[in-house]
Amino acid sequence: MEVMQLSLQLYLHASFGCRGVSWVLRLLAGHLPLSVPASTTVLNWCCRLGLAILQRPPVWRDDWVFVVDETVGLGELKCFVVLGIPLARLAEVGYSPRHCDMTVLAVEVSVQSTGVWVAAVLQQVSARAGVPVQIVADHGSNVRKGIALFRQQAPRCVATYDISHAVATQLKAHWRDDAHWQEFLKHTGATLSRFQQTDLALLLPPRQRSKARYMAIDAHVEWAQRLIAYHDQGDFSAIGRPCVFNGGAYARLRRLWG
């Protein structure tokens, strides 16, 4: 039992993978009386724990706030997840809940995800946990349609466009055709390819994401601000990355950029 608990804690709270958990226990076995489970055993323990949590009857409430999203992993299957948090608890955490503040109410997998199917999942969850007062989601067409169908049976439920996607949509509409922003991204891409294998690698910008790009533009903006702070202060600690800046790197920087 102790080995199982330690394995789950390493996997869930220390962010080790199943093989990593097995290796850590193998190292500890030389100093502590521990048996060492195989990585597949650790995976089975985690899956069984997750299944037990999903099958546990949720607390019936009339103030649930649902946070729903759909993701596509590999192949044809789509996964629809419903998280819940009581409205009072949402206020307690400053309307910025962490994963540990949420309750997993449903994880449904389907080949075809339609609005009708999404509405059916929401109705099933409501039958087990209570009708929500609010549903937060992105504006995926099937998710939006499913919420609209569900609200026909629960008119007091408020549908909210989640702030991350809403802001990203506005930023995309504003900056997608902005010549200055596109030129900035072009220069960051050129900087990345030019300096990543050089002694100026400490100046590298973050890589652009292939998906949800406008939800991560803060990384580029913060990088540019750190670079400007270095320029103004002449202090490489403003970059915020560990580095060794030698005379050769300084000479090259002067030669290339003046």
Instruction: Give pLDDT tens digits for 77-95.
Output: 888 999 999 998 988 998 8
Least confidently predicted of 45-54, 179-188, 194-203 = 194-203
Q: Is 28 within 8 Å of 34 (Cβ atoms)?
A: yes
pLDDT at 125: 94
Q: Is residue 199 over pLDDT 90? A: no
Kindly report the pTM of this predicted structure. Answer: 0.70
Domains and CATH numbers, the chain: 2-55 (no CATH), 64-161 (3.30.420.10), 172-257 (no CATH)
Percent of the chain at pLDDT > 70 equals 93
- How would residue 36 be classed by pLDDT, with cut points 50, 70 and 90? confident
Instruction: State the angle between helix axes of 115-129 and 141-153 in degrees (0 to 180), rounded to the nearest 10.
Output: 50
Q: Where does the pLDDT of residue 159 fall: very low under 50, low under 70, confident under 90, or very high at 90 and above?
A: very high
Amino acid, single-letter form, for residue 221: V
9-31 tens-digit pLDDT: 999 888 888 999 989 888 888 77
Average pLDDT of the segment spanning 44-56:
90
What integer pLDDT is reported at residue 95 of this predicted model?
Answer: 85
The pLDDT of residue 242 = 52
